[in-house]
Amino acid sequence: MIGEDGTEEFVREVRPALIAACTDKTASLDTRTECCSSLAVLCYLMEDDLSEILEVMRMYETIFSGSYLKGDGSVKVSGAAVDAGACHAAALDGWALLLPLLAPGHALALLTNQAPSFARLGDLLEAVSLEVRMAAGTALAIAYETVTDDDGSAESLTDLVDGLLPRLSELARDSHKFRAKRDRKLQRATFRDILKPYCNQFMIFILTIILISQHLQNNAACKARTLARKKNRDKRSAALAM
């Protein structure tokens, strides 16, 4: 269908139906979950209208916002929050898939001025659902990579990202016995993969510091040798002159 005549018409017909199914609270959670995933792929591959993509992303946020922390900062642990975890995760995955379609500056403005913010995405790392926690970690990594894609700079997010790293590290090492063994293993593997780029950046930073330090030490040692040799030459010259 991609690239063939009628693609635009196909998208115009299917997208509204999928959006309606995603937001239909009378539909089963399994149906809504599948529609969230299908809609994201459809928009990613076939939708060229940025305004339509933004509309779908806003719709996704209304779904996974159900896993945000409560007003008092506590985690939603109700049965409904647990049951809807897969649907919320699918919506969050869909949102994250579409975010890189925006220009870095546009994506940063979106995360700064509209929901979900980086802080809200960080809150989802505390969600009771394993699927939501993993989707949140992936979304954070994609969001950070997207907004820094143009020149590698997003100074306004540095402190926030640094603040999230301890929680990401904790999730990568999570060994709480109340979680199923499979869930613990899957969560640790997911967050280790998410942390790899940050760990690599940190190691590069440390290596750079070491190399600079060694360079300065070598320069100092070279300068000291030069001064010592100059003094010895001066002494030999004075002795020969006598």
Res 4: pLDDT: 56
Res 208: pLDDT: 44
In the predicted structure, residue 175 carries a pLDDT above the cut 80: no
Six token digits for residue 237: 């010259």
- For 212, residues 6+ apart whose C-beta sits below 8 A from its C-beta are none
Task: For 182, list phi and psi in degrees, rounded to 5.
Answer: -65, -40
Which range, of 60-74, 77-91, 145-159, averages the lowest pLDDT?
145-159
In the predicted structure, residue 103 carries a pLDDT above the cut 60: yes
In the predicted structure, residue 216 carries a pLDDT above the cut 80: no
Mean per-residue pLDDT, 146-164? 61
pLDDT in tens, 184-212: 565 555 555 555 554 444 444 434 444 44
- 19-28, 80-89, 115-124, 200-209: which is most confident: 19-28
Enumerate long-range contacts of 110-119, CB under 8 Å, 24 or more apart: 110/54, 111/143, 111/147, 112/156, 114/58, 115/61, 115/65, 116/61, 116/64, 116/65, 118/143, 118/157, 118/160, 118/161, 118/164, 119/160
Res 19: pLDDT: 95
In the predicted structure, residue 241 carries a pLDDT above the cut 60: no
Kindly provide the b/e burial profile for residues 149-169, where b requires at least 16 CB atoms within 10 angstroms of the residue's own CB.
eeeeebeebeebbeebeeebe
Mean per-residue pLDDT, 109-120? 85
Neighbours of 27 (CB within 10 A): 15
Six token digits for residue 165: 């790293």
In the predicted structure, residue 148 carries a pLDDT above the cut 90: no
